[in-house]
Structure formats: structure tokens, C-alpha cells
């Protein structure tokens, strides 16, 4: 059944307007993003197909990419882009609801809270840097590199160049392990030690290197790899 053929009280947009967004199912919310259906299916039915496909094939809609979504009948590039963009916006709002510019980092749990949701669904290792001022506030956040599943390139020049350009007092780096296990690898430890040496030469403190897993994290400062 096409949405226009539904009783008005059952249409997603009208339900949102008159009952509030909490009244909508996941399929109805996604239907508002997709906006239009096909000759055979309504936007709600297409949304159900997307959610079912994502759960069965990808494990979660949060992992979806444009190419994968266009494999679903009725989902073209435009609809797929709208879905992926909406998911990315949700991740950013969850990980940084008030804007990271004034976020104060007190310990590794603050780093995990800031970045966990953003990095949770990444399929490749992603290296993020937080630039701190003298008060320990996050002035900016930058993606340093995105690597293959085998690892991320962590070169001191790439890590400290943004900090030097922006006059940061200190930096924190974080990257994810797509496997979900945040246990540092030998490469992680060696790269961190090299960054500690570089930070001492440059005069910009490396506060921590946090590895994000599936709901868990490891601080290389807490592990003693980075001097307290």
C-alpha cells in the first residue's frame, strides 16, 4: 500500500506532526528519510527491506555503505546517500552533542565517551586526533588517516603537523580496532613510543593514545606506554 493510500493517522509524517517523533517505528523514521517508494512498495516497506537487509547481511544499519544499500531493490544512489548521510549525522551528534570545541578531557574515559559511537561501526582502522589547549579543552578534532583492516599509518609528521599549525598545547590520539578487541598490538605500542619521543622533541605533549573496541577501550597511558 502506498503511503498516500493509508489513513492519515497512519502516515509517518502525520504521526510525527500530531503524535511526536517517539510514536514512529524505525521503519517509519527511515521512510521519512527515503521519502518515496516505488510502484510496488511504499517508502515504509522499502525502509523495512533496508533494515532487514542490514541486519541480515551487515549486522547493523550503522555499518551500511552506499554501494551495499543500492543492492536492495528500489534503493537507488540518491536514497542510499540520504540514508548513509543521516546515519553519519546521528553518529556525530551522539559522539559530540554540544560541539567538541569546549570538551574538557580529564582522563581516558572522556576520550572514549567522545569518540566511541563515532568509531564503533568503522570497518577500517581510523586514526583521530584531539588537539588540546592549556586548559585541557578540545579545540578541534581531526582525522589523521584511514587505513586498511591491517593497520593505520601513524607517522609523527602527520600527527603533530595539525598541532603545530594550530598552536595546540597537547594532543590525544585514538584509533579503533574493527575486530572489537582494544588490546594494543605490537605495532600500536611501537608507534606510540615513537610518538612519545617525537612529542618530547617538538614540545607538544602526547597525553594519551586510546584504542577503541566494541564498547570497550584501552589507554596506552594507563598501560604505562605513555609516561604519566
Are the C-beta atoms of 141 and 130 separated by less than 8 Å? yes
Where are the chain's structural domains?
3-94, 98-219
Q: Indicate the pTM of the whole model.
A: 0.61
* pLDDT at position 153: 59
CATH number of this structure's domain 98-219: 3.40.140.10
Confidence (pLDDT) at 148: 56
pLDDT for residue 151 is more than 80:
no
From CA 122, how far away is CA 66, in angstroms rounded? 14
Tens digit of pLDDT for each residue in 24-71? Answer: 899 999 999 998 888 888 899 999 999 888 887 766 787 788 998 999
Distance CA 61, CA 47 (A): 11
Write the CA distances from 173 to 38, 74, 142, 156, integer angstroms.
45, 41, 10, 11
Amino acid at each position: 500500500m502506498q503511503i498516500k493510500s493509508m489513513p492519515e493517522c497512519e502516515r509517518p509524517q502525520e504521526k510525527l506532526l500530531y503524535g511526536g517523533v517517539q510514536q514512529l517505528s524505525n521503519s517509519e523514521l527511515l521512510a521519512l528519510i527515503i521519502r518515496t517508494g516505488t510502484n510496488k512498495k511504499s517508502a515504509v516497506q522499502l525502509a523495512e527491506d533496508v533494515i532487514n537487509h542490514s541486519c541480515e547481511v551487515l549486522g547493523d544499519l550503522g555499518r551500511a555503505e552506499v554501494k551495499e544499500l543500492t543492492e536492495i531493490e528500489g534503493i537507488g544512489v540518491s536514497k542510499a546517500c540520504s540514508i548513509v548521510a543521516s546515519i553519519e549525522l546521528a553518529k556525530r551528534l551522539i559522539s559530540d552533542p554540544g560541539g567538541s570545541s569546549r570538551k574538557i578531557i580529564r582522563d581516558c574515559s572522556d576520550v572514549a565517551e567522545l569518540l566511541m559511537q563515532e568509531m564503533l561501526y568503522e570497518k577500517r582502522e581510523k586514526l583521530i586526533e584531539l588537539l588540546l589547549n592549556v586548559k585541557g579543552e578540545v579545540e578541534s578534532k581531526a582525522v589523521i588517516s584511514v587505513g586498511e583492516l591491517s593497520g593505520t599509518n601513524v607517522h609523527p609528521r602527520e600527527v603533530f603537523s595539525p598541532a603545530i599549525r594550530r598552536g595546540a598545547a597537547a594532543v590525544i590520539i585514538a584509533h579503533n580496532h574493527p575486530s572489537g578487541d582494544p588490546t594494543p598490538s605490537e605495532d600500536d605500542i611501537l608507534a606510540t613510543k615513537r610518538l612519545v619521543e617525537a612529542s618530547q622533541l617538538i614540545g607538544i605533549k602526547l597525553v594519551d593514545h586510546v584504542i577503541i573496541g566494541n564498547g570497550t577501550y584501552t589507554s596506552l597511558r594507563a598501560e604505562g606506554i605513555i609516561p604519566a
